[in-house]
Structure 1
Amino acid sequence: MPFTLSGDDTCQTTTPSRLHDPYWVAISPNAAELIQLPLGSDGLPVDPLWLDLLAGNTLKTSDIEFPNPIATVYSGHQFGVWAGQLGDGRAILLGDLHGQELQLKGAGITRFSRMGDGRAVLRSSIREFLCSEAMHALGIPTSRALSVVGSKEKVIRESVETAAVCARLAPSFIRIGHFEHYASLENTVRLKELADLLITHFYPECSQHDQPYLSLFKAISKRNAKLVAQWQSVGFCHGVLNSDNISALGLTIDYGPFGFLDQFQIDHICNHSDSGGRYAYHKQPQIMHWNMACLASAMLPLIEINQTTENAHEILRSALDEFPVTYAKEWQGLFRRKLGLEIEIDGDIELIERLLQAMHDSQIDFTNFFRSLGNVKKGMQVADIDTRNDFIDREGIDPWFGDYLTRLEQETADDVARKMVMDSINPKYILRNYLAQVAIEKAQRDDFSEVATLLKLLSNPYDEQPEFEAYSKPPPQDMRHIAVSCSS
C-alpha cells in the first residue's frame, strides 16, 4: 500500500537513475510468488523487461506500469542523537503490487540523498538479499528481497566496488522516523493522516477502541517487542537500531552491518562502526524500548487531541511500560521452547540464564549448541552428553546439565516428540558472516552460484539437509572476525 499522504512535503516523485548494462545476480522464487511474478525454468522472470525494471532502467513491463515512483521523507535519531531530516536517500518506491510495496534500494539519487550517491554495492545487496529471505524462513517478520541486479558501474566506498540494486518487498516501509518527522515539524495534520493510514490498512482493530491512536501505539510497540525477542532467540544482531530503521509494522528492515552470533558473547558488537557498543546483542531489547519512547513522544500530539497534556503523558508512559513485560514474556517462552520445556515451572528462567552465562564464558557456538541440545535424552548420564566437551569449564557446566536432565523428567513429551519441537525452533543453518563473505567474493568474480546455494539452503533452515552439512559448521579461525560496517 503506497505511501499516499497528501502534500509534496511528504514525498517526491523520483525517477530511478539508469544502471548501465544490468545483469541478474539472484532472484528469490518465494518472494516472486508474493507478487505473482511468473518465472521460467531458468528461475528468471518470463518477461525479460523485468531485468530493466528491477535495475531501475524502465518503469514498465509487458503488463505492469509504475507511473509515479517516489522517495519519502522521514527524520530520526541515529546512535541516540537527533539527526533531523533524513529520508529515502537511495531507495525508490515503485508502487504497490498484490499488496506488497516494491522498492528499489540503490536506484540512484533522490532529494533526500544528502551527500550520498544513491547507489548500493554488490556486497551489501547480496547480504540484504540473503538475510531477508533467511529471516523469513526462520519465521521472523521481515521485509523480503525479490532480486539483486548487478552492474560493472563503479561505486566508491572504502574502496572501489561495483553497483547493484536490491529489490525489496513489504506491505509498507513506513517507519518510526516518519512519525518523528511530522512531530518535529509540529504538523499534527500529517501525523494524523499517517496514523489513520496505518490503522485503516494494517491495524483495523485499533479503530474499535475509544482511543485509537493510543491503541495504535500499543500495537506497534507490542509487535516490535516480540520482534526483538525473536532476534535474541536466534542470535541475530541488527547492528544499526536507529529510530529511522524501525518498522511501524514490526518488521526487520534496513539490513546493514547485521550479523548472527557464532561464538556466544552476550555483549557482541556486529557493527565495527559502533565503537560504544550501543547496539550490542544484549542491548537490543532496551534500544528497541528506547525507540518506542521516540515513537511515544512523536505520537503525543495525537493523544492530546482528546486528553490534557498531563493525562496524555501519563497514558503514554503507562503504555510504554508494557514493552518490557511483552518482551520478557516472549523471550522466556522462546527460550523455554529452545530447551524443550513446554511446561512452565518456577526456576526455568534461572536455568536459562545460568546456561547463557556458561555459554558466554566458554564462547560456545550459539546455533550449534541449541541444535545439539535436542539430542539430550531423559535418563542420560551427564558424562554421555557430547556437547559438554565444548565448554572450557567442564566441571562448571556439568551441574547445569545435571539440573537440566532433572528438569526434563518433569516434561510429559517423550524424547522424539521433544526433539521435533526443539528442531523446529533451533535452526540448523543461519547466514553466518563467513558464508556470506564466500558468496560475495565469488560474485565479485561473476560467479553467482554460491548466492544461489545459500538461498536454497537458508530457505529451509530447520531441516537437516545432509548435502549441506558443512554449512552448519562454525567459521574457520581466519574468518571468525569479519568486520562489517555501515558502509554499503
Structure 2
Amino acid sequence: MSDSTAPQWHSPGRFEALGPAFFTYLQPTPVPAPHWVATSASTALWMGLSTEWLASDEALQVLSGNVVADGSKPLATVYSGHQFGHWAGQLGDGRAILLGETSQGFEVQLKGAGRTPYSRMGDGRAVLRSSIREFLCSEAMAALGIPTTRALALTGSPLPVAREAMETAAVVTRVAQSFVRFGHFEHFAARDMQPELKALADLVIDQHYPECRLATSLAGNAYANFLQAVSERTARLLAQWQAVGFCHGVMNTDNMSILGLTIDYGPFQFLDAFDPGHICNHSDNQGRYAFNRQPQVAYWNLYCLGQALLPLIGNEELTIAALESYKSVFPAAYATQMLRKLGLRDDAPGTAPGEGRFAQIVNPLLQILADNKVDYTIFFTRLTEAVSHTQGSEIDFEPLRDIILDRATFDAWSLTYSEHLAQVDKEQAADLMQKSNPRYVLRNHLGETVIRAARNGDFAPVQQMLAVLQAPYDSHPDHHAWAGFPPDWASSIEISCSS
C-alpha cells in the first residue's frame, strides 16, 4: 500500500460471509461538523495503513461515519450475554458499526456512529469523555504488551448527547483481528441455532485457532480444544491485568473477546493505592467486578462459553476438562508476571506450592501494599530505580520506606527479597524490572485532566498523553508529574457504565 492510499476493504468480510442471521446491514448516522480529537500513527502502521490518508479530510469523514468508503458494507452484529451474572438475552452492537475488513485482515469498527437494531433504548452515540478514555487506554494497553483492541482515531462533534448531563458526541475507530465475543456464541446456543453456532465456531477456529483442528488432546475434539485455547488465552490476559493493576469494571460475557483481547473500555481504572477489593465501576453495587474477583469472574464467563459450545463438543465431561487448564495457567502466568516485576525468574520446576519465590516474596509484599495502602505503580517504579542504581550489594530501600507506614514489616520483607536478588545477576534483574514496571499508566485523574481540556476545545493534551502512554517505561522528563501521586481530588472521580 502506498503512502497516499486509503484502506482497501475485503468484501465480503469473513464475518459478513456467515449470513444475515449474524448481523444487519446499516449506514452510520452522520454527525455535524466533525473534527479530529486524536489519531494513532502507531495503530496505522500496525495495520499497514497510510498515515498520510489518516490525516486527510476523507479519513475524517469516513471515521466519523459521515461517508461510507468504496467497498465498505457497514453492519452491526447480534449477540447475547450474561450481565452482572444474570442472563440478559439478546444484546448486540448497540452503538458499534463494523465498517468491514481490510485487505490485511483487520476489522474496523466505529463506536458511537448512531443507532442500530440492537441499541434497545440507547441512542447509539458515545460521548467525548468516555471516548477519550477508550482511545487512550486501548493504546496504553498495547504499549504495555497486553492483548487489546486498538484505537486508530478519535473524532468529535458539537452534536449534543444526553447522559447524566448534556455532553458532546465522539466516535472512536476501533481495530482488531476479530470483534467476536463470548456472547456471540451464547446467542445462537440459547436459541438452539446449532448450524449457525457451528458456522461461527468453524470460522473462528479456521481463522484464529487452526491448531485446534490438528490437536490430539481432549479426544481430538476440535471444539473442545478451541475452548481450551480460549481459556488459556484468557488466563494469560487476566494475569497481565492483575500484574499491572488494571480493573476492567464490566466483565460481562458480552465484553469478553474470543481472542483473549481486552475489549470494551468503559468504567476501567488502574489502581492508585493498592486495594485488592477495589471496585472501579460506580454502577457495580454488589462488587461483582472488584479487582481481586476478576480472575474468578473470567473463569465463570468461560464456563458460560463452555455451556454455549457444549452442543458442538457433544460431551459434558470433555467440556469441563477443556476449562481445567485455566486453573493452572492463570496462577503460573500471574506468578511469572509478578516475579518479573521484582527482577526474578520463575521458580524451578517441581517447586512445591507455598515454598517458591511467589509464596515467599510476592504474597507478603502484596499484603504489605494492601495494609499500607501503597501506590501500586509508584512502589514498583521506586523499587526498579533502587535495584537499577545499586552500587555493590546493598540496595537503598529508603525511597520505598518513605511511602510505607509499617516499616518494620517492610524491612523484614526487604531482607528476604535481597537474599533472593543476590542469587541473580543484578544487571539482568534491573533490565527485567525496567521492562516490567511502567512509570506511566492511564490513571483516572490523568484521563480527567485531558478530558477537561478537550471539553474546552484543547485537544493537544490528548495527543501528548498518547505519546507518553505509548512509551510507558521511559522517563519523559517534560511530563514527570504524570508519574506522580494522584491529587486528593482523584478519589472523588466516579466512573460508571454511562458513556
Length-normalised TM-score, structure 2:
0.92
Shift of 1:381: 5.4
Query: Cα RMSD between the aligned structures?
Result: 1.5
Correspondence for 1:401: 414
Question: Pick from 446, 455, 466: which aligns with 1:435?
Answer: 446
Alpha-carbon distance in 1 for matches of 2:483, 2:291: 21
Alpha-carbon distance in 2 for matches of 1:466, 1:382: 24
The answer (yes or no) to whether the contact 1:135–1:141 under 8 Å persists in 2 is: yes
Shift of 1:464: 1.8
The answer (yes or no) to whether the contact 2:234–2:260 under 8 Å persists in 1 is: yes
Correspondence for 1:57: 66
One-letter amino acid of the counterpart of residue 325, structure 2: E
One-letter amino acid of the counterpart of residue 218, structure 1: Q
Alpha-carbon distance in 1 for matches of 2:343, 2:208: 34
Alpha-carbon distance in 2 for matches of 1:476, 1:9: 50
Correspondence for 2:401: 388
Shift of 1:478: 1.6
Distance 1:378 1:296, change over 3 A: farther
Correspondence for 2:41: 29
Distance 1:466 1:161, change over 3 A: same
Question: What are the residue-to-residue correspondences of 1:182-193 with 2, within 5 Å?
Answer: 182-193=188-199
Shift of 1:8: 2.1
**Structure 1, gaps ≥5 residues long:** 305-311
Alpha-carbon distance in 1 for matches of 2:244, 2:82: 26
Correspondence for 1:360: 370
The answer (yes or no) to whether the contact 1:69–1:95 under 8 Å persists in 2 is: yes
Question: Pick from 95, 100, 107: which aligns with 2:100?
Answer: 95
The answer (yes or no) to whether the contact 1:378–1:405 under 8 Å persists in 2 is: no
SS of 1:410's partner is coil
Shift of 1:347: 3.3
Correspondence for 1:308: none
> Is 1:213 the counterpart of 2:223 in the alignment?
yes
SS of 2:173's partner is strand
Question: Pick from 237, 240, 265: which aligns with 2:247?
Answer: 237
Distance 1:403 1:297, change over 3 A: same
> Is 1:473 the counterpart of 2:484 in the alignment?
yes
Alpha-carbon distance in 2 for matches of 1:383, 1:430: 25
Question: Pick from 276, 291, 300: which aligns with 1:266?
Answer: 276
Q: For this pair of structures, how many residues does the alignment match?
A: 472
Alpha-carbon distance in 1 for matches of 2:480, 2:134: 23
Correspondence for 1:295: 305
SS of 1:55's partner is coil
Alpha-carbon distance in 2 for matches of 1:384, 1:249: 41
The answer (yes or no) to whether the contact 1:34–1:100 under 8 Å persists in 2 is: no
One-letter amino acid of the counterpart of residue 169, structure 1: V
The answer (yes or no) to whether the contact 1:2–1:101 under 8 Å persists in 2 is: no
> Is 1:181 the counterpart of 2:187 in the alignment?
yes
SS of 2:229's partner is helix
SS of 2:457's partner is coil
SS of 2:28's partner is coil
Distance 1:13 1:343, change over 3 A: closer
> Is 1:322 the counterpart of 2:325 in the alignment?
yes
Correspondence for 2:119: 113
**Structure 2, gaps ≥5 residues long:** 1-12, 349-354
Correspondence for 2:77: 72
Cα deviation, 1:74-111, whole Å, max 9, x if unaligned, reads: 00000000000000000000001121101000000000
SS of 2:21's partner is coil
The answer (yes or no) to whether the contact 2:45–2:51 under 8 Å persists in 1 is: no
Question: Pick from 14, 19, 22: which aligns with 1:10?
Answer: 22
The answer (yes or no) to whether the contact 1:382–1:402 under 8 Å persists in 2 is: no
Greater alpha carbon shift after TM alignment, 437-446 vs 206-215: 206-215
Cα deviation, 1:295-314, whole Å, max 9, x if unaligned, reads: 0000000011xxxxxxx111
SS of 2:51's partner is coil
The answer (yes or no) to whether the contact 1:5–1:190 under 8 Å persists in 2 is: no
Question: Pick from 135, 139, 146: which aligns with 1:133?
Answer: 139
Distance 1:359 1:380, change over 3 A: farther
Cα deviation, 1:116-165, whole Å, max 9, x if unaligned, reads: 00000000110000000000000000000011110000000010000010
Correspondence for 1:426: 437
> Is 1:373 the counterpart of 2:411 in the alignment?
no
One-letter amino acid of the counterpart of residue 301, structure 1: P
The answer (yes or no) to whether the contact 2:255–2:264 under 8 Å persists in 1 is: yes
Alignment identity in percent? Answer: 48
Shift of 1:332: 0.6
Shift of 1:383: 7.2
One-letter amino acid of the counterpart of residue 26, structure 2: T
Alpha-carbon distance in 1 for matches of 2:272, 2:197: 42
SS of 1:9's partner is helix
One-letter amino acid of the counterpart of residue 92, structure 1: I
